Each structure stands twice: as structure tokens, then as C-alpha cells.
């Protein structure tokens, strides 16, 4: 698709006088019209704008170079990772049980999406697939917050770095394709980084085990979500994952509490600061983050998305230092682990960005 330059207000209807004005302000650029005629004369822009206004009846948006789909995916991906960096912080700020956090997070998110999207029609099979993905996401959240409650924010988010390792194993099995030696190699770099950061500290063994299980479930969610979201708008995907997943999560909460009993009361209504933190958590770290993630998954592989999410612990730990002033001792092994995690993400980003066949 060839791009041409037009300066104007997006979303307004085009009239004859506006066509003349825009044609005079247009910058010369060779374009192809929908009828296949190549135009290299600035005076032919009136022809082009009139043709486009008949087709869409809206003015063309301000000029911006058409970005490569992969670049768009990486921008959306890194924005979602940045928002994800605040998730662990909310897990500390909100004083509720992890089960309550997840249940109300899904409830508030469903209500917000219902207001903006309504109930779009999807097939029953697609609906059940999305609900199943929502259940996996809810289980991942419960394990993730459980890891934070059982240890600390750093342990919970660093365990999340193992998602790339599990994806490199699960994705070939689910999609019945060959294992990638490079993906396994990048994942092992991440594992080495996680071990360096933990320094095999036995004090947080229980929190680490829950965190590892959380990353495995999240890897499975991302792979299934990539398949289930094909042909469905991002907002619709998230709407049915949150609402359908809410009912399934409600059913599995007793089973979860059987295996992971909690010291805090389960049935608690959020109020005061907890209520505001939950609303912000639902709006920014759920709706905003997962809409960006779903869009990124349509342009990038599940492994690339999950490996890039290894940056989440780095963002969360930095934010925790700045906001909470955590007095965690920083040593050489910590910095080495962060460098290894960043290296794995950088290598996979270069590999995914490089054109095929080069």
C-alpha cells in the first residue's frame, strides 16, 4: 500500500471546499489510487481525495509512515510489559487475600468492558475457548499473587521470567511443530539469570514453587489465547475471557484453597484504599495491558511475547525501589541475573525483527 501525505482533521466529513483546501496543502508524493492509476502530479490530489471521500466519507488521518507490522507489535508489546510492571506493586498495595484480588479484578474488568463493548456475538465454540483462556488467566493470577504473599514482590515477579522457558516447551507440543534450539537456548539464559537473582535462597522456597507454577500456567494461557483470539476483536476477546473466566474461577477457588490455604479471610468486600487500588488495577493493568498484549500476539509469536515479558521483573523491581524504598540487598549476582534476562530478551527481539531468509 503506497502512502500519501494529507494534513487535516481525522474523522470529519469532506466537502468540496475542504477538498480544494487540502489539495493545495498536500505534499507531492507518488501514489496508487484504488483504481490502479499512478499519480505523480500534485494537482491530481483532488482526484484522489474525492475518490477516497466517496469510499470512506472521512478525511485521511495526519500523515505518518506506515509502520511494519512487526514494529507495531513490538511497540504494543513493550507498552503492555510496562503496565504489567505495576501489577506486582498493586499486589503489595492491596491488602486482600490473593483469591479476593483475582475475583474482584475480573469482576471490575468485566463491568468496565461491558460498558464499552456490550455483548458482541461470537460462536459457542469460540465463546467456550475464550472462557477457558480466562480460567487459565485467573488461575495464573491467583498463583502469582500467592507467590507474592508467600514471599515478596521480587520473588513473585522474577519467577514470572520463566514463562519463556515453559513456552519454548509447550508451544511446539500444542501446535505440533518442531522444537526450536534457539528458543530453548534463550530460555536457558533466562533460567540462569533467575538462579543468579535467587542465589538459591531457601527462605523463599514455597513462594518460588508457587511462582514457577504461575509462570507455567501463564505460558499455557498465552499459547491458547493466541489460537482462540484469531478473527475476534481484542476488546471482545478480553470481555469474554474476564466474564466467562470469572464464573470458572469462582468454581475452582475452593480447590485452590484446599491446596494453598490462606491465613487471611476470603470473603472480604474491598473498601477505602483497597477499592481505589482495585479499580486502577482493573483499568490500567488489566484492560489496557491485555488489549495491548492481544494485539501484539496477532503480530508476534507467543514465544517472543512471553520472552519479552521477562522484562516485567526488571520494571517491577525498579519501581519497587523507587516507590517503596525496599531495602533489599543488591549484590553482584543480582545485577548478573538482570543482565542475563535482558540479554535473552534482546537476542530474541533481534531474531524476531530480522527479515526471514536473511
How far apart (Å, rounded) are the C-alpha atoms in residues 308 and 301?
A: 11
Question: Quick one: average pLDDT of 74-91?
Answer: 87
In this prediction, residue 143 has a pLDDT band, given cuts at 50, 70 and 90, of very high
Alpha-carbon distance 140 to 134, whole Å? 10
Per-residue model confidence (pLDDT) at position 343: 86
List, for residues 269-305, the tens digit of each pLDDT value. 788 888 899 999 898 988 888 889 888 888 888 778 8
Strand 31-32 versus strand 38-39 pairing type: antiparallel
Greater model confidence, 324 or 36: 324
Q: Which of 58-72, 169-183, 303-317 has the lowest mean pLDDT?
A: 58-72
Neighbours of 235 (CB within 10 A): 17
**pLDDT tens by residue, 305-320:** 877 877 777 788 778 7
- Per-residue pLDDT tens digits for 264-279: 777 677 888 888 999 9
Residue-level pLDDT at 325: 67
How confident is residue 9, by pLDDT bands cut at 50, 70 and 90? Answer: very low
> Residue 200's pLDDT band (boundaries 50, 70, 90)?
low
For residue 37, pLDDT beyond 50: no
10 pLDDT above the threshold of 60: no
Q: How far apart are CA 323 and CA 306, in angstroms?
A: 26
- What percent of the chain lies above the pLDDT cut of 90? 15
Locus of grid cell 460462536: 123
Answer with the residue of higher pLDDT: 61 or 339: 339
Please state the rounded mean pLDDT for residues 53-68.
Answer: 41
Per-residue confidence (pLDDT) for residue 20, from 0 to 100: 42
Cell, residue 35: 483504481
pLDDT tops 60 at residue 33: no
- Ranges 175-184, 201-210, 322-331: which has the least confidence: 322-331
pLDDT of residue 2 exceeding 50: no
C-alpha cell at 291: 488489549
Amino acid at each position: 500500500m503506497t502512502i500519501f501525505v494529507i494534513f487535516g482533521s481525522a474523522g470529519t466529513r469532506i466537502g468540496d471546499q475542504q477538498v480544494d483546501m487540502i489539495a493545495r496543502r498536500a505534499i507531492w508524493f507518488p501514489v496508487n489510487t484504488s483504481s490502479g492509476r499512478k499519480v505523480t502530479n500534485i494537482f491530481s490530489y483532488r482526484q484522489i481525495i474525492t475518490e477516497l471521500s466517496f469510499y470512506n466519507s472521512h478525511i485521511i488521518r495526519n500523515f505518518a509512515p506506515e509502520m511494519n507490522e512487526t514494529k507495531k507489535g513490538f511497540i504494543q508489546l513493550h507498552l503492555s510489559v510496562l503496565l504489567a510492571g505495576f501489577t506486582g506493586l498493586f499486589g503489595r498495595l492491596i491488602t486482600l487475600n490473593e483469591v479476593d484480588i483475582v475475583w474482584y479484578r475480573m469482576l471490575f474488568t468485566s463491568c468496565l468492558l461491558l460498558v464499552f463493548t456490550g455483548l458482541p456475538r461470537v460462536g459457542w465454540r469460540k465463546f467456550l475457548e475464550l472462557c477457558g483462556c480466562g480460567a487459565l488467566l485467573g488461575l495464573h493470577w491467583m498463583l502469582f499473587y500467592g507467590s507474592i504473599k508467600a514471599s515478596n514482590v521480587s520473588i513473585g515477579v522474577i519467577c514470572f521470567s520463566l514463562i519463556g522457558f515453559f513456552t519454548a516447551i509447550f508451544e511446539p507440543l500444542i501446535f505440533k511443530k518442531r522444537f526450536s534450539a534457539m528458543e530453548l537456548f534463550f530460555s536457558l539464559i533466562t533460567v540462569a539469570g533467575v538462579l543468579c537473582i535467587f542465589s538459591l535462597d531457601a527462605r523463599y522456597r514455597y513462594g518460588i514453587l508457587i511462582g514457577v507454577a504461575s509462570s507455567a500456567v501463564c505460558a499455557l494461557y498465552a499459547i491458547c489465547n493466541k489460537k482462540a483470539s484469531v478473527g475476534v476483536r481484542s476488546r471482545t476477546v478480553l470481555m469474554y475471557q474476564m466474564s466467562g473466566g470469572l464464573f470458572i474461577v469462582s468454581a475452582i477457588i475452593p480447590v485452590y484453597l484446599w491446596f494453598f490455604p490462606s491465613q487471611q479471610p476470603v470473603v472480604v468486600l474491598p473498601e477505602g484504599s483497597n477499592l481505589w487500588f482495585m479499580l486502577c488495577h482493573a483499568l490500567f493493568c488489566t484492560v489496557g495491558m491485555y488489549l495491548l498484549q492481544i494485539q501484539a500476539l496477532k503480530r508476534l509469536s507467543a514465544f517472543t511475547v512471553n520472552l519479552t515479558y521477562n522484562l516485567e521483573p526488571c520494571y517491577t523491581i525498579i519501581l519497587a525501589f523507587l516507590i517503596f524504598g525496599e531495602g533489599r540487598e543488591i549484590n553482584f549476582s543480582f545485577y548478573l541475573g538482570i543482565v542475563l534476562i535482558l540479554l535473552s530478551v534482546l537476542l530474541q527481539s533481534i531474531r524476531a525483527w530480522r527479515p526471514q531468509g536473511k
